[in-house]
Amino acid sequence: MPSVLLTWAADRESWPDGYGPAVGAVAGGGSFRRSIPLTGFQPASGTEVWLVLGGISGQGPRGLAGHGVVAAPSGRDTDPVIVDFDLLLPLGEQLPESHLADILPALPLPGEVLPIPAAAVPALRRLWSGYLGAGADPLSPVPGTLDPGAVGLRPVNDYEHDAEARRLCLAFFGTVCAACGLVPAQRYGPGTEALMQVHHLVPGPDPAAGYVLDPVSDLVPLCPTCHAVAHTGVPVPFTPAEVRGMLASAPDAAGRAGQSGAGVVLGSVVTAAQQQALEDAARLRGLR
């Protein structure tokens, strides 16, 4: 996939509704589509785009500020090109031009497109990755760190990717999977709590209808595996209780129960009768 640089002169060109809202639109894993007028070379559909921000007084030096993909090429040299941006850095946080000197000796002028030599792209990705870090979600690579052709795009539930809603949900329930009972830190060690995801229990809410998310009643923690299984339910995802049922009826359920020392699925609610039966069984086996 070819890669190009293009420059946005922030002091001359405005974004629809402002640049700040565009940054917010992509922050949760979304995208922002914008038409950009160009002159000369016109990139084809699917071309990887690196956005260069022209230096603005008080907003940091000239440098890389975003990443995206050409959604639709311009029909003529004078027509704008349509770009779907998947990452936009806030003003002042761009990767400075001085860091790029060894990889990209020259940056394009506003309105110009500069093809990036294929040999320079891997080094650019490493620099970009080192500058931005791993990102909040270890399962979602930071845009630009991998070739766009290697990353599949899929629609997501925005409520499950709201950082504040996730924080409140996990603060209330803890980092324990509501389906299988997995506690990442206990299984894999400290630092793996970030793997826990949250699942939206209200299928298909319409924000326009006045729906307001309640992180405690509408979200529940699920490990990545159980979360993926829940979303195999189409069009309505499976509930955590249904996923627990799948685990309980799976061919290896008996073996897992024996390994865990219990006859129920980890993370499920045990009734008084079930608890008594477990204790009776333990006494019969001489465990108590």
Q: Are residues 11 and 145 in the same domain?
A: yes
Say yes or no: 121 and 222 in one domain. Answer: no
Element (H, E) at 101: none
Alpha-carbon distance 249 to 242, whole Å?
11
In this predicted structure, which of 96-100, 165-169, 206-210, 284-288 has the lowest mean pLDDT? 284-288
Backbone φ, ψ for residue 125 (5° rounding): -65, -40
Q: ω into residue 117 within 30 of 0, thus cis?
A: no
Quickly state the pLDDT bin for 54 (edges 50, 70, 90): confident
Final residue before a domain boundary, out of 150, 182, 207: 150
The pLDDT confidence band at residue 66, using thresholds 50, 70 and 90, is very high
Statement to judge: residues 106 and 125 lie in one domain: yes
Say whether both 139 and 243 belong to one domain: no
Mean residue pLDDT of the chain comes to: 77
Tell me, yes or no, whether 180 and 201 share the same domain.
yes
Q: Looking at the structure, tell me whether residues 30 and 134 fall in a common domain.
A: yes
- On whether residue 278 sits in a domain, the answer given is no
Res 45: pLDDT: 86
The pLDDT value given to residue 155? 47
pLDDT for 178 equals: 92
Give the pLDDT of residue 48.
92
Q: Are residues 111 and 56 in the same domain?
A: yes
Query: Tell me, what's the pLDDT at 34?
Result: 87
Q: Please tell me the pTM assigned to this model.
A: 0.55
**Rounded-to-integer distance, Cα 230 and Cα 201, Å:** 10
Q: Under the phi-then-psi rule, with left for phi > 0, alpha for psi from -120 to 50, and beta for the rest, what region is 286?
A: left
Establish if 258 belongs to a structural domain.
no
Q: Are residues 129 and 192 in the same domain?
A: no
Cα–Cα distance measured from residue 9 to residue 111, given in angstroms and rounded to the nearest whole number: 8
Whether residue 141 sits in one domain with residue 28: yes
Percent of the chain with pLDDT over 70: 70
Domain identity same for 32 and 64: yes
Higher pLDDT, 231 or 275: 231
Q: What is the mean pLDDT of residues 95-121?
A: 86
pLDDT for res 67: 93
Residue 90 pLDDT > 80: yes
50, 1 Cβ separation under 8 angstroms: no
Please give the average per-residue pLDDT across 233-238, as a whole number.
79
Q: What's the pLDDT score for residue 250?
A: 80
Domain housing 34: 3-150
At 160, the pLDDT band (50, 70, 90 cuts) reads low
The per-residue pLDDT for 243 is: 92
The answer to whether residue 276 scores a pLDDT higher than 50 is yes
Domain-embedded: residue 44: yes
**Would residue 217 count as lying in a domain?**
yes
Q: What are 47's two structure tokens?
A: 């071309």
140 and 29, same domain (yes or no): yes
DSSP string of 205-220?
--GGGT----TTTSEE
pLDDT digits (tens, 9 = 90+) for 182-230: 999 888 888 888 889 999 887 665 555 677 888 888 899 999 899 989 8
